[in-house]
Structure 1
């Protein structure tokens, strides 16, 4: 019955199995790891897009023109017209390391709207558009 070089007193059930994992076990572990990675990447992307969309956008359509962060206040006013509200919020101290001097920068908030119930809040620092937020007023 035993044609191999194993002694007759060793039964097949007593043989030590190899400690190396089978190919199917390795493939299953790889598949689980890939699924976990995919879920984490999806959640991270969703969290980033929600945070970005709820905080600020970088462009605003005014009629058939666009204003973007970095535009000057007079350019925004030319494209969008007079805001319904224009308020100076204060100043901010900035330091220019190239010239080793500081200066006070004026901070303003302009509000446009309502457009289908949405108001556009534009923040200017030093005469440049730095943030555009869309909100519904309650």
Structure 2
């Protein structure tokens, strides 16, 4: 992990940056929305600056069965001083947060 991302993660853990949630993320001239697949986001936005496996989450599917799905967190940026954090659960985009770096 590079120093810039490490410093950002330290700032986040200290709570010095303001987070803003969104339902869409604009990368270049393209837009991705919640529920997009990891493949769709990667094709529209390219490779993230960093990504990590955050663990697993238990969900109940549309048939009522419990499943454990992987949770990934991707970071894009900085882009004009903003970092964008995308959280995927079971390869689907579930959360988008943006934070301005120092």
Q: Which has the larger radius of gyration?
A: 1
Name stretches of at least 5 consecutive residues in structure 1 with no aligned partner. 1-53
Structure 1 consecutive aligned stretches of length 4 or more whose deviation exceeds 4 Å: none
Q: CA separation in 2, counterparts of 1:76 and 1:99?
A: 27
Report matched runs for 1:44-123 at 5 Å: 55-96=20-61, 99-123=63-87
Name stretches of at least 5 consecutive residues in structure 2 with no aligned partner. 1-18
- Paired positions, count: 84
Quickly say closer, same or farther: Cα 1:102–1:64, change in 2 above 3 A. same
State the TM-score, normalized to the length of structure 1.
Answer: 0.57
State the TM-score, normalized to the length of structure 2.
Answer: 0.75
In angstroms, what is the RMSD of aligned CA positions? 1.5
Higher helix share: 1
Quickly say closer, same or farther: Cα 1:55–1:115, change in 2 above 3 A. closer
Higher strand share: 2
Deviation per CA, 1:40-60: give whole Å up to 9, x if none.
xxxxxxxxxxxxxx5411111
